[in-house]
């Protein structure tokens, strides 16, 4: 029951509730240690087209494949979560003075993971990803970090998609 309450049933990734808990812990540690953390808010570009053209079963397969590709990038201490629909969040904690560089390197790896199309049976479907990055310390709230990363992601979408932008909180 605990697994069902804290994980997305389709991808097996942590859900919003577990992400919130881990984000609160990461912020408390960042405040205590004087470290930084980064939150990457990711939204898929072109996912609606896959659902509309190939159906929800194909869309579900793509979401599962996205989770697999992104999971291959993250450290064991990071938290990759699916928070709804085609939105994923990656929490990078316990970062040093190079937090911006680390977040940008991880974002570049995420973008690179989408270079190859996603195979859904009879079709190969290209897909992009827009990434908003919020860099914070223990001084900001989880909601402030999520909101800042979400705003950065929407700015990426407005400028043409499949890229990343950073906000310091």
pLDDT digits (tens, 9 = 90+) for 107-154: 999 999 999 999 987 789 999 999 999 999 878 888 999 999 999 999
The pLDDT value given to residue 115: 93
The pLDDT value given to residue 1: 59
Residue pair 129/43 in contact (Cβ under 8 Å)? The answer is yes
Q: Which of 43, 86, 101, 143 is catalytic?
A: 86
* C-alpha to C-alpha distance for 48 and 30, rounded to whole angstroms: 37
Burial of residue 52 (number of CB atoms within 10 Å: 0-12, 13-18, 19+): exposed
pLDDT digits (tens, 9 = 90+) for 8-27: 999 999 999 999 999 999 99
86 is catalytic: yes
* C-alpha to C-alpha distance for 28 and 123, rounded to whole angstroms: 46
User: Which sign does the torsion angle of CA 30, 96, 98, 163 carry?
Assistant: negative
Give pTM, 2 decimals.
Answer: 0.93
Residue pair 134/38 in contact (Cβ under 8 Å)? The answer is yes
Residue pair 10/56 in contact (Cβ under 8 Å)? The answer is no
Domain architecture of the chain: domains with CATH: 2-168 (3.30.70.270)
The pLDDT value given to residue 35: 92
Task: Name the region of 50 (left: φ>0; alpha: ψ -120 to 50; beta: rest).
Answer: alpha
């Amino acid at each position: 029951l605990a697994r069902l309450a804290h994980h997305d049933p389709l991808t097996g990734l942590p859900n919003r509730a577990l992400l919130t808990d881990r984000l609160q812990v990461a912020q408390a540690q960042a405040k205590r240690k004087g470290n930084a953390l980064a939150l990457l808010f990711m939204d898929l570009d072109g996912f609606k087209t896959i659902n509309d053209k190939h159906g929800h079963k194909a869309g579900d397969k793509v979401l599962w494949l996205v989770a697999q590709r992104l999971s291959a990038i993250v450290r064991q201490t990071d938290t990759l979560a699916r928070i709804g629909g085609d939105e994923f969040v990656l929490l990078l904690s316990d970062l040093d003075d190079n937090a911006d560089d680390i977040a940008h390197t991880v974002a570049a790896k995420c973008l690179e993971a989408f270079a190859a199309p996603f195979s859904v049976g009879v079709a190969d479907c290209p897909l992009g990803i827009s990434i908003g990055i919020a860099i914070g310390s223990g001084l900001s709230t989880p909601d402030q970090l999520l909101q800042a990363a979400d705003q950065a992601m929407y700015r990426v979408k407005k400028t043409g998609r499949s890229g990343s932008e950073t906000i310091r909180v």
